């Protein structure tokens, strides 16, 4: 589904990603782990199409389509979803009307009929129940005055509403207590199926207790230095990132 090939990315002349290769297939969950500053969020943002990143070489394709040819909104309509590390507050725009617009833009793109107010409400109520989000948050302006946990829950609610092909979760666990973490993870697990894929970007292993990945990749200094199964996350938790970096230096020295 998602293929990243030899991706090099600069931010303000500083090279952040230095040759990333990643293959994510439908039905899979991949975790990208790494210390602060390793380039995890850069990768997530480049996939979503955020400005301020210069792709110097390499490619990213979604189902064979070059995503660099697409604007952020086109990527979203094609099925890319980024759960933000810091969801943006938008005063004056209600969560519900924002989502209705988004859902219908995506439906239009797929050649589906737009949902009218009644059908949208019905669909939304279903998803609200599923994610455990209450009316109050729905009628308030997008993320405006939400707690950290509420913002993250709102991201997962949007994930459920938009039903993308590929969900990229950027540090979704940051700032969450254990109860909120469970709720958010539950929402992601409900989303998972054989036709979609999830990329979880995280610093800590904690989240992966709840969203169990099929593959774990360790990103250090802009490169994936190690890949493995879910047990790799536990090993990292145990030994720390130094273990991989040192390991790598030793290997390189051999």
Q: Contact positions toward other proteins, by CB under 8 A? A: 48-51, 71-73, 75-77, 81-82, 84, 87-93, 98-99, 101-102, 105-106, 109, 141-142, 158, 162
Q: Which is nearer to other proteins, 140 or 206 (CB)?
A: 140
Instruction: Tell me how far, at minimum, the Cβ of 145 lies from other proteins, in Å.
Output: 14
Q: How far is the CB of 48 from other proteins (least distance, A)?
A: 5
Bridge partners, 201 (sequence order): 32, 170
Q: Toward other proteins, which CB reaches closer, 92 or 111?
A: 92
The b-or-e profile of 42-63 (16+ CB within 10 A means b, else e) is bbbbbbbbeeebeeeebebebe
For other proteins, which is the closer residue by CB, 18 or 140? 140
Task: Between 76 and 233, name the residue whose CB sits nearer to other proteins.
Answer: 76
Beta bridge partners of 217: 32, 227
- Look-up of token digits 């992601």: 188
For residue 221, give the DSSP letter: T
Q: At what angle do helices 117-131 and 178-191 cross, to 10 degrees?
A: 130
- Find the shortest distance in angstroms from Cβ 68 to other proteins: 15
What is the nearest approach in angstroms of other proteins to the Cβ of residue 97? 9
Q: Which two tokens stand for residue 234?
A: 């536990």
């Amino acid at each position: 589904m998602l293929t990243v090939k030899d991706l090099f990315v600069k931010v303000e002349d500083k090279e952040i990603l230095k040759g990333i290769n990643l293959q994510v297939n439908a039905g899979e969950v991949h975790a990208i782990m790494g210390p602060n500053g390793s380039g995890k969020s850069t990768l997530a943002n480049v996939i979503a199409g955020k400005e301020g990143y210069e792709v110097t070489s390499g490619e990213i394709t979604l189902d064979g389509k070059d995503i660099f040819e697409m604007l952020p909104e086109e990527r979203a309509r094609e099925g890319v979803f980024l759960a933000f590390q810091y969801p943006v507050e938008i005063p004056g725009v209600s969560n519900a009307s924002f989502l209705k617009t988004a859902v219908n833009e995506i439906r239009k793109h797929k050649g589906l009929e737009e949902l009218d107010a009644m059908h949208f409400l019905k669909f939304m109520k279903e998803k609200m129940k599923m994610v455990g989000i209450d009316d109050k948050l729905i009628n308030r302006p997008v993320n405006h005055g939400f707690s950290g946990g509420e913002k993250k829950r709102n991201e997962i609610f949007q994930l459920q509403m938009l039903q993308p092909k590929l969900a990229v979760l950027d540090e979704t666990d940051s700032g969450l207590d254990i109860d909120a973490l469970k709720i958010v993870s539950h929402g992601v697990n409900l989303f998972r199926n054989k036709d979609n894929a999830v990329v979880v970007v995280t610093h800590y292993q904690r989240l992966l207790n709840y969203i169990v990945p099929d593959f774990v990749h360790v990103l250090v200094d802009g490169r994936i230095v190690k890949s493995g199964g879910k047990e790799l996350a536990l090993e990292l938790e145990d030994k720390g990132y130094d273990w991989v970096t040192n390991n790598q230096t030793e290997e390189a020295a051999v």
